[in-house]
Structure formats: structure tokens, C-alpha cells
Chain A
Amino acid sequence: MNEALKLDVRNLQAGYGDVQVLWDVSLDVAAGEIVAIIGSNGAGKSTIMRTLSGLLPVKGGTFSIDGRPMADASAADLVRAGIAHVPEGRRLFSAMSVRDNLLMGAYLREDKAEIAADLESVYQMFPILADRRGQDAGTMSGGEQQMCAIGRGLMSRPSLLLIDELSLGLAPRIVDQLSDRLREINAKGVAILLVEQDVIAGLELANRGFIVDRGRVTLSGPAKDLQGNAAVREAYMGLGAA
């Protein structure tokens, strides 16, 4: 295992009960990198994310964080190891306040003073969340909820942020805003693994990309190369060859 890698996934197999979804997934994220996973509906993108955050058991293969094997780790162990998962559809605690939602992100932390400071920095990054801190999270717009979900992820002080469907159901202007925030987060040294159906936006943001199809990685490379790849352009962008 390469110790310089933030995340190293080797021949990962996983699924739901008897239904296997991931057959052979190998991918990696270097420290400080943004990596996009691209694929159509049902390709297994979210399953990868759910397995990496400990919601689904690993059935075969393995993955490691900072060189430490984590295939048998619990969800809590993975949070402690630096993974924060921003799930598809936000999954906020809708009847709890924005502030409580953010604080739940720091559930495993004990350093109260630092948590308060991190809360302030999330408010600085997303000022609208500060305005709405006492409001029930479920009453906010989709974009605000996505900000809250990202903020909640940051509250665990992750070194690797998993973001599942950043743009789902959001206006393009909001997606641009969120992409800018992710670049800022990344500039502070947080690696990002991004699942995105909006292939153009995903590859625009990422340094590298992995194409997933039917539970296998079929193609990978620098985002620039994938953007120019004829097969990718035709299958996922609805465009002709460059």
C-alpha cells in the first residue's frame, strides 16, 4: 500500500444483502486532491461512498486511509480516521435546528472550544447558515440544505470529504457557488472524492476522474483527458468527439 495516498481502494466488492453491486473497484485519492467518480444511474457510485463510510460491509478487496487498512472498520472508526460523508439527498435531521445539525457533525469530538471555533468558520464559509442557525433544517431550500450537509461534514475535521451528488436538484448558479466553496475547502488541504451525475461539472472541479460502469472501474485518468475522451463525451456528456 502506498502511504502517500489519502485513500487507496483495491478490488473492492460490496452490495446490499445478497445483491452484489460492486464487483471490482480500484481507485485512489492523493492527499489534497479532488477526484470525481463518474457513471450512469445504478453504476454503483453511491454504493462506493456508502461502503467507504462504513454503512455497507466490505465483501471483498480492501481499502486503506493513510496506509491503514480500514475494510473492517466501523462507521465511527472511519470518521475518526478522517472521512466525512455528505450523503446523497443531504440527509439532514430535518426537525433539528441548523446549529444542532452542524454540531452533530462533531458528535465524536470532545474538544469543545475547537468545535465552537469550527462552527464559526462554517458560518463564515456559508453566511446564510449563520442567519438560519435557529431554524429547522428541513425548512431550508435545497441549496441551503446542501450547504448545511457540507458544513456538517466539515465539523468532524475531515481530511477526506466524500460528496455524493453535489448538484442533485440544485440550480446551476447554486452548484457554481458550492463548487467554489469546495475549491476553498480543498485549498485548505482537505482531499475530496466526488460522485457526480453532472459529468461536465464534476470533471471541471476534479483533478482526476474514474469512470464506473456496472460495478467496475472502466476508465480513469486526469480530468482534462477524460473531458476530451471521445467515448466519455458520447456516453456521459451527450456530445460528439472533440
Chain B
Amino acid sequence: MTRNVITTWIAFAVGIALCAVLPIFGGNYTLRLATTVAMYAVLAQSWNFIGGLAAYPSFATAAFFGLGAYISAVLQTKGVPLYWTWVLGGLGAALFAAFLGGAILHLRGHYFAIASLVVAEVLRELINTTPDLTGGGMGLNVPALKMSVGEQAQFFYHAMLALFAISLATAIFVHRGKSGFALQCIKQNEDAASILGVNAYAYKSLAFVLSAVFVGAAGGMYATWTRYIDPTDVFDVLLSVKPLVMVLLGGVGTLLGPVVGAFILLALEEVVWRNFLTMHAAALGVIIVALVLYLPNGLMSLVREIARRRGRA
């Protein structure tokens, strides 16, 4: 291992450890926000695999999230141990992504985006038509945990943080490894990559599966956390849009961009929500347009630019 790699892992361990002790200082409100940030960061980090590394603009995040949430919730009502339902929610979403990828990963650009966008709608209809198993449009109640409110806040925060840590560790492996290099080549020129012997289909599928597995598990945790899910909630199109916005905010294809983006988006949401209650969606839209126009490479590019200028001065 080179020094650079060791530094990365030390920074990773220290960062996660610092986040883990937050409950000592924060109240329930802070923990709720922190849990949401961690969940957003999982969604953004996941989208970064397919959207950032491979540059395939996926809008399937909501589909994976909802699928994971329903798999996990249904299993919980059947009495399967909690952690297993989360794991199976993630694996179910990953398996679904593998099949879905076979069907739509040959499409490129806008065509891929549109194909991936309708998947959540199809799944939503599927849930609506199976009320016996999933509760249909009425939604599904998930068994409550036998914990106090304060304990639950801490439990879900730590669970979501652990999931984020796993997704970030996976991202570090992929970014540093051969698959990250291959995905970068596919992003820049898929034909050329294929000519040189890169199995583009396999690496795109890997990126798509990675963009699903942690999202599915996050959906499962979300179902347990909120104790009630319904199709419009967990297949909400915003769940597909927000990860993309967060990654754009932070920095496409970077390791820390998704986390930075998750923090900023939640901060913006809290501020905008309080002050523009009736038009928060519009305000969010304006921010997105401004970002794409003025900061197309995200905040991480700004940080790097400043560091570069300092280094030169």
C-alpha cells in the first residue's frame, strides 16, 4: 500500500468515528437531521457509481429505494429478523438492477435516463395491484421497535451511518481500483474502451448494481424508521432527482462530493422549507439551474481550484 492509500483509510476511519459519537452532543432533532443526511449521502454515493463514474444518467434510485423498502417491510411483517430484512432489501434491489441493466444499459444519454425514470412508476403500479401482500395504495404498517424514542433516534442514526460507511468504503475501493479506471474510460469513450478489450457491459452492470444495493438497504431502514410506507412516498420521483442534485452540488465522480452535496442539500431544504413553504420545490429548481450554469463540476472543484491557486502563489 502506498502512503496515499493509507492516508485515505485513516481519514475514512477518523471521519466515521467522529460522526458516530454525535449522539453524545446532539438532541433528537439533530439526530433526525443527521440520519437524513446519512441517508441522502448513501443515495448520492450510490448514484455516483452509475451517474458519476460511468456517466449514465440514472433516474432509477427511487425504484431501488421503494423496492428495498417494500421487500424489507413485508419481511418485517412476516417476522424475519430486522437486520436480515435490510440486507435482503439491498440484495433484492441489486438483483433487480442486474436484470434491469441487461434491458436498458445498451441505451445511452437521454434514452437511458427516460428508460430508468419509468421503472419506479411501473413498480408503484405493481404495489398498488397487490394489496394482499403489500397493502396496496393504503400503505403498509411496519412493526414498531421496542425502544424508547431517544434510543430509536440513536439506533437509526448509527444504522444509517454504518450503511453510509459501507457505501463510502466500496466507493473508495472502486475509485482506486481497476474497475474505476475502466468506468472512467467508458465514460470518456465507450467504443474506444471496448476496442481495447474493456468489457463495457460488465462494468456498466457492476456500476448499476452498486447504485442499487445500498439504496435498497436504505429503503429498508427508512421503512423501519418511519414505521409506515406507501407507494407514493417510497417511489417518489424526488428520490431519483435529489441524489443527482447532491452529486452535482458536491462534485461529479469524486469520493467526497456526494457527502458534501448531501449536507448542503439538507441545509438548503431546511432553510428553504421554513422560509418558502409554499414554493420550496420552485426554489430548489432555481438552485439546480444556477448550479448547472455556474458550477458544473460542483463544490469540490472549487475547493481544488482554491488549493491550486494557493499552491501557486
Contact = CB atoms under 8 A, between A and B. Distances in A.
Given A74-B199, A76-B199, A104-B185, A92 B194 contact: no
B188 A75 contact: no
A87 B196 contact: no
Given A96-B184, A96-B188, A104-B185, A91 B195 contact: yes
Given A96-B184, A104-B185, A76 B192 contact: no
Nearest to A79: B197
Interface string A48-69: 0000011100000000000000
A237 interface: no
A78 B185 CA distance: 19
A85 interface: yes
Interface in B189-206: 189, 191-199
Contacts of A92: 189, 192
A107 B197 contact: yes
A224 interface: no
A197 interface: no
A93 B189 contact: yes
A78 to B, nearest CB: 8
A74 B201 CA distance: 12
A87 B191 contact: yes
A106 to B, nearest CB: 9
A4 interface: no
A152 interface: yes
Contacts of B196: 79, 104-105, 107-108, 152, 156
A136 to B, nearest CB: 11
Contacts, number: 51
Interface residues on A, range: 20 to 34
Contact of A87 (B184, B195, B198, B199): B195
A228 B182 CA distance: 47
Interface string B239-274: 000000000000000000000000000000000000
A95 interface: yes
Contact of B197 (A76, A91, A96): A76
Nearest to A96: B188
A2 interface: no
A85 B188 contact: no
Nearest to A149: B192
Contacts of B184: 93, 96
Contacts of B185: 93, 96, 104
Nearest to A105: B196
B contact face: mostly helix, strand, loop, or mixed: helix
Nearest to B200: A75
Contacts of B188: 93-96
B251 to A, nearest CB: 15
A110 B99 CA distance: 32
Contacts of A76: 197-199
Contact of A75 (B182, B189, B195): B195
Contacts of A104: 185, 193, 196
B191 A108 contact: no
Contacts of A152: 196
A62 B227 CA distance: 61
Nearest to A95: B188
A92 B192 CA distance: 7
A53 B195 contact: yes
Contact of A55 (B182, B189, B195, B199): B195
Interface in A89-122: 91-96, 104-105, 107-108
A152 B185 CA distance: 13
A76 B182 CA distance: 13
B197 A108 contact: yes
A213 to B, nearest CB: 25
A96 B189 CA distance: 11
A201 B191 CA distance: 27
B304 to A, nearest CB: 15
B197 A75 contact: yes
Nearest to B201: A74
B189 A156 contact: no
Nearest to A76: B197
A206 B184 CA distance: 36
Interface of A: 53-55, 74-76, 79-80, 85, 87, 91-96, 104-105, 107-108, 152, 156
Given A55-B191, A79-B195, A92-B192, 12 more contacts: A53-B195, A55-B194, A75-B195, A75-B197, A76-B199, A79-B196, A91-B192, A93-B192, A96-B188, A104-B193, A104-B196, A108-B196
22 contacts: A55-B195, A75-B194, A75-B197, A76-B199, A79-B195, A85-B195, A87-B195, A91-B189, A91-B191, A91-B192, A93-B184, A93-B188, A93-B189, A93-B192, A94-B189, A96-B184, A104-B185, A104-B196, A107-B198, A108-B197, A156-B196, A156-B197
